[in-house]
Structure 1
Amino acid sequence: MLLDRIKILLKERALTLAELERKLGFGNGSMSRWNKSTPSGDKIQKVADYFDVSTDYLLGRTEKRRYYDLSEKERKDIAVQAEELIEGLTNGENLNFYGEPATKDQKDRLLIAIQTAMEMNKREAKEKFTRKDYRD
């Protein structure tokens, strides 16, 4: 599992295993043997830090790459909140752009922008306020 995850991350960065070993100061070919032997925690942490992922992700304990990534439920909750915000905007006062009532396309784009901003804010809050012992 560990080596499989590393290979996915390598492919995303267009790197080879040998290049990663050199960058991290590991012995030539040492990582390819990780299928048969478990590396030290320090080495796993070094790889996790390099790719900005959690050690739990590398070890296959979670699908979330970082502790502060949003879960699917959190994304759905934000979508509902954004939808409610749009409804409030459209029901309270007319939503206008340049003095004209907003079209459906304009409202849809606004909804996407609000959802994206809310997801970014939630992720930032999780990153900032999650206790260190809950991060990995």
Structure 2
Amino acid sequence: MTVFDRVKKLADKQGISINTLEERTGFSKNYLYSWKKKVPSGNNLKVIADYFGVTTDYLLGRTDNPNPIQERVPDDLDKMLDNAMTFGGKPLTEIDRAAIRAYIEGRQSSK
């Protein structure tokens, strides 16, 4: 599967055409179609990955999982926080746990 095939699949899931995607991301008309035969630059690949909320590795075919971190974080994070200690060797407080979880999940802490 080419980079273009993966982009087309993602566009189809959102019910948009490749031309619409090009307009929304600022690419020239038919630019994404050129990805059928060539690998895009890193910056352009990142634009599309950010638009769809997937990894560039997914677009490049290095993984079939578009969001590997999002699927792993809840289970692994809970286990990590259960075993985590402060710098002084004391268990984390609930406030510390919430702040760490928010940071790792990419949202603002509610301190």
**TM category, shorter:** 0.5 to 0.7
Deviation per CA, 1:4-58, whole angstroms, max 9, x where unpaired?
A: 1111111111000000001111111011011112211100000000000000011
Instruction: List aligned pairs for 1:1-80, cutoff 5 A.
Output: 1-70=2-71
* Bigger RCO (CA 8 Å, 6+ sep): 1
Q: Is there any run of 5+ residues in structure 1 with no aligned partner, and where?
A: 75-124, 130-136
Q: Is the 8 A contact 2:4 2:36 kept in 1?
A: yes
After TM superposition, the score normalised by the length of structure 1 is 0.52
Instruction: List aligned pairs for 1:102-121, cutoff 5 A.
Output: none
Question: What's the Cα RMSD here?
Answer: 2.8
Shift of 1:64: 1.6
**Identity percentage of aligned residues:** 34
Structure exhibiting the larger radius of gyration computed from Cα positions: 1
Structure 1: 4+ residue segments shifted above 2 A: none
After TM superposition, the score normalised by the length of structure 2 is 0.62
Q: How far, CA to CA, are the matches of 1:70 and 1:22 in structure 2? A: 30
| Matched position secondary structure for 1:70 | helix
Amino acid at match of 1:32: Y
Q: Is there any run of 5+ residues in structure 2 with no aligned partner, and where?
A: 76-100, 106-111
Are residues 1:128 and 2:104 paired?
Answer: yes
